[in-house]
């Protein structure tokens, strides 16, 4: 998963068992789920506070409940992506789905990855459509003046609201005018000369500074962007006029929009194969796919798709299982031998020339790397690199469950730097930070990969030691105490810490075992600090 913070999915299903199965699958993949069993409950959850990011709905809800009718009611009050669950894959059923939602459907009983991929792609599509709608509104309502004109007569064919408001003319008045009436520096001959490089194909765009004349006769400086597009017999000219008095603000806005669009395009590269379903030979390949593979299209066409998607070798997820659509993560082998992770979708398409397989794939290796990095940041303390308290509590809860099942022991060490406030007061907070980082780095060298060192808060830390008894934990705590007391911290000198140790006891909860080790730590502090205390009150 990826690409976004935690998403909430509303599952609408008259079967509580089926709903829970879908909820369990989505929960395993990081989604928050909620179940609605009736139309009234669905409408309430979809339109109320904390509304879902996506609705997964059974098309046949039973007892007279029509999933498509309910979906239309939801769409009247909320713009939320909706994916149908259906046990029927007839053309009539699919047309019924398409009449209501553009986000597709999932066949009941489909593999887990199909459900998860469909939900993921529906969320992405909804985000992309929302962005596209936002950008259309930006253009229509932008303060930038936009004019569409006839390149021969120079008469305006259309203008945006920004043009009308900036100039003081009504839209109907502007449509009776031509571009020369707004640019007093030009006459027809000089403006035609300006357009000549566009009409002759020498340039795609011309940018120049000019002055615009408002209805009241006042002039203001503008930057004009002219382009010609092939449309109709004579084509059309488009002029984007920017008021230079707002240039800085507008340039920043355009820069941000441009960067976002570039990032979006860079994040969604799509390769396409057209494949013969019998021989599995690639018949057509697009340029993006060729670029991802690092070979010319002619080097790829005619070869088996299995040569590039090595995990699929010998088995096609579509033809082998007679499915219509398959979505999965695969490794794409490049010409140079490198492998990149892609999200691949294979769809069966029937054409006049026969059945084909359309295979699309996008590079998700960077996204995976980003997910891993974001996850790492979410579970670590930014200063010391130790795990954070939230992650530690999750690991402790898991360890308690494991110990209850297996009977294997675990232990906790909690330690606190002695007189840390005095270090900060005397040497400054930068020195205090240096002490914390040095201590964590030194302790990590001694710990196992299975141990979990976390920052509990402030200068207090805790270590989870799986497969370790109290005696072993106490010995390790003493070793760490000795190690720290002998460390020379640059700019600070020697420091010490107090340590508390405890082990799991039958019936322990997270709160019980952490309170016990905390009590042991405070006993160590009460005993003069720079020592190890084991146990604590039961």
**What one-character-per-residue DSSP string does 136-188 give?**
HHHHHH-SSEEEEE-TTT-BEEEE-HHHHHHHT--HHHHTTSBGGGT-TT--H
pLDDT in the model for residue 106: 85
Run of H or E residues at 439: helix 429-446
pLDDT in the model for residue 266: 37
Mean pLDDT confidence for 295-304: 88
Q: Tokens 């795990």 identify what position?
A: 387
What spatial distance separates the first Cα and last Cα of the chain, rounded to whole Å? 43
pLDDT in the model for residue 261: 42
pLDDT in the model for residue 260: 65
Mean pLDDT confidence for 232-239: 81
Q: What angle do CA 143, 146, 149 make, to 5 degrees?
A: 160
pLDDT in the model for residue 268: 41
Angle between the N-to-C axes of helices 112-141 and 16-28, in degrees from 0 to 180, rounded to the nearest 10: 70
pLDDT in the model for residue 125: 87
pLDDT in the model for residue 312: 57
Domains of the chain: 8-133 (3.40.50.2300), 142-264 (3.30.450.20), 271-366 (3.30.450.20), 380-534 (3.30.70.270)
**Per-residue pLDDT for 136 more than 80?**
no
| Cβ atoms of residues 100 and 83 within 8 Å | no
Lowest mean pLDDT among 166-175, 253-262, 282-291, 456-465: 253-262
Q: Select, from the ranges 97-106, 331-340, 368-377, the one with the highest average predicted confidence (pLDDT).
A: 331-340
77: buried, middle or exposed (CB in 10 Å: 19+, 13-18, 0-12)?
exposed
Residue, of 182 and 110, whose pLDDT is higher: 182
Buried b / exposed e across 200-223, counting CB within 10 Å, b at 16+? eeeeeebeeebebeeeeeeeeebb
Run of H or E residues at 243: strand 236-243
For residue 264, what pLDDT band results from cuts at 50, 70 and 90?
Answer: very low
**Per-residue pLDDT for 143 more than 80?**
no
pLDDT in the model for residue 477: 96
344: buried, middle or exposed (CB in 10 Å: 19+, 13-18, 0-12)?
buried
**Per-residue pLDDT for 102 more than 80?**
no
Mean pLDDT confidence for 313-325: 69
Backbone angles phi, psi at 86, to 5 degrees: -145, 145
- Measure the CA–CA gap between 137 and 481, rounded to whole angstroms: 64
Mean pLDDT confidence for 70-89: 83
- Measure the CA–CA gap between 101 and 81, rounded to whole angstroms: 8
Q: What is the pLDDT of residues 412-423, one digit of tens each?
A: 999 999 999 999
**Per-residue pLDDT for 389 more than 90?**
yes
- Measure the CA–CA gap between 55 and 70, rounded to whole angstroms: 11
- Measure the CA–CA gap between 502 and 533, rounded to whole angstroms: 9
Q: What is the pLDDT of residues 174-226, one digit of tens each?
A: 999 999 999 999 999 999 999 999 888 899 999 999 998 999 999 988 899 99
| Cβ atoms of residues 466 and 450 within 8 Å | yes
Mean pLDDT confidence for 238-260: 73
């Amino acid at each position: 998963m990826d690409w976004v913070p935690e998403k909430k999915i509303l599952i609408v299903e008259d079967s509580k068992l089926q709903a829970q199965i879908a909820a369990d699958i989505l929960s395993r993949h990081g989604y928050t789920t909620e179940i609605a069993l009736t139309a009234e409950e669905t409408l309430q959850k979809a339109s109320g506070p904390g509304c879902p990011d996506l609705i997964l709905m059974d098309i046949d809800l039973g007892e007279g409940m029509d999933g498509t009718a309910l979906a239309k009611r939801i769409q009247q009050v909320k713009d939320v992506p909706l994916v149908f669950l259906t046990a029927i894959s007839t053309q009539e059923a699919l047309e019924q789905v398409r009449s209501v939602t553009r986000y597709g459907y999932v066949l009941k009983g489909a593999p887990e990855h199909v459900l998860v991929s469909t939900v993921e792609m529906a969320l992405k599509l909804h985000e992309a459509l929302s962005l596209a709608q936002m950008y259309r509104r930006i253009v229509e309502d932008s303060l930038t003046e936009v004019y569409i004109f006839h390149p021969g007569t120079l008469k305006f064919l259309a203008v945006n609201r920004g043009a009308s408001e900036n100039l003081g003319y009504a839209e109907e008045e502007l449509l009776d005018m031509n571009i020369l009436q707004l640019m007093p520096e030009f006459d027809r001959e000089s403006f035609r000369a300006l357009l000549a490089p566009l009409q002759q194909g020498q340039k795609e765009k011309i940018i120049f500074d000019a002055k615009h004349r408002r209805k009241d006769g006042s002039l203001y400086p503008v930057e004009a962007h002219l382009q010609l597009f092939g449309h109709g017999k004579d084509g059309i000219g488009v002029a984007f006029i920017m008021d230079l008095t707002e240039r800085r603000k507008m340039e920043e806005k355009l820069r941000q929009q441009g960067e976002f669009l570039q990032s979006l395009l860079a994040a969604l590269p799509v390769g396409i194969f057209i494949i013969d379903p019998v021989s599995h030979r690639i018949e057509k390949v697009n340029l993006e796919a060729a670029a991802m593979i690092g070979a010319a299209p002619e080097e790829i066409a005619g070869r088996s798709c299995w040569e590039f998607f090595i995990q699929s070798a010998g088995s096609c997820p579509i033809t082998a299982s007679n499915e219509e659509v398959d979505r999965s993560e695969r490794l794409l082998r490049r010409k140079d031998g490198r492998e990149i992770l892609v999200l691949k979708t294979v769809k069966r398409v029937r054409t006049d020339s026969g059945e084909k397989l359309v295979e699309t794939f996008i590079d998700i290796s960077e996204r995976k790397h980003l997910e891993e990095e974001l996850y790492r940041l979410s579970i670590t303390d930014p200063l010391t690199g130790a795990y954070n308290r939230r992650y530690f509590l999750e690991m402790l809860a898991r360890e308690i469950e494991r110990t209850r099942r297996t009977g294997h022991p675990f232990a906790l060490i909690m330690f606190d730097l002695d007189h840390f406030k005095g270090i900060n007061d005397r040497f400054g907070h930068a020195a205090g930070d240096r002490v914390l980082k040095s201590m964590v780095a030194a302790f990590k060298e001694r710990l196992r990969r299975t141990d979990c060192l976390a920052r509990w808060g402030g200068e207090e830390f805790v270590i989870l030691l799986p497969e370790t008894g109290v005696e072993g934990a106490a010995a390790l705590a003493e070793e760490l105490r000795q190690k720290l007391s002998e460390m020379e911290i640059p700019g600070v000198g020697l420091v010490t810490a107090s340590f508390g140790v405890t082990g799991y006891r039958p019936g322990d909860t997270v709160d019980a075992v952490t309170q016990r080790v905390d009590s042991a730590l405070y006993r160590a502090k009460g005993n003069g600090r720079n020592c190890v205390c084991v146990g604590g009150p039961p």
